[in-house]
Amino acid sequence: MNECHKIVGRNLIPNYRETTAGSPVRRAPDMSETERIIGNSEHIGINEGIVRTYAWYRENVFDTNNISAM
């Protein structure tokens, strides 16, 4: 079980699909211009990012309007 599985509490099965035309091989945007404009360069690790993202979805999507990913 990887970290994402542990955070979500489920055994998730990835659904890999072929890339579409024009898709980048790796998504790694250069955020330096954004950081310069807003004056902030907060960086968090992948696990904390998953925790925050899942918490947001749980509060704003899964637990509302009878929608569930469980």
- DSSP for 6-47 reads HHHTS-------PPPTT--SS-----HHHHHHHT------HH
CA distances from 69 to 25, 38, 56 (A): 28, 34, 13
Instruction: Tell me, yes or no, whether 15 lies in a domain.
Output: no
pLDDT at residue 44 in the model: 87
Give residue 55's domain range: 1-10+44-70
pTM comes to: 0.54
Instruction: Tell me, yes or no, whether 39 lies in a domain.
Output: no
Instruction: Tell me, yes or no, whether 32 lies in a domain.
Output: no
Total number of domains in the chain: 1
pLDDT at residue 64 in the model: 66
User: Using 50, 70 and 90 to split pLDDT, how confident is the model at 69?
Assistant: low
Residues 20-63 pLDDT 10s: 888 888 778 888 898 899 998 888 888 898 899 989 988 888 76
Instruction: Tell me, yes or no, whether 16 lies in a domain.
Output: no
Instruction: Tell me, yes or no, whether 27 lies in a domain.
Output: no
Instruction: Tell me, yes or no, whether 67 lies in a domain.
Output: yes
Q: Which amino acid is at 69?
A: A
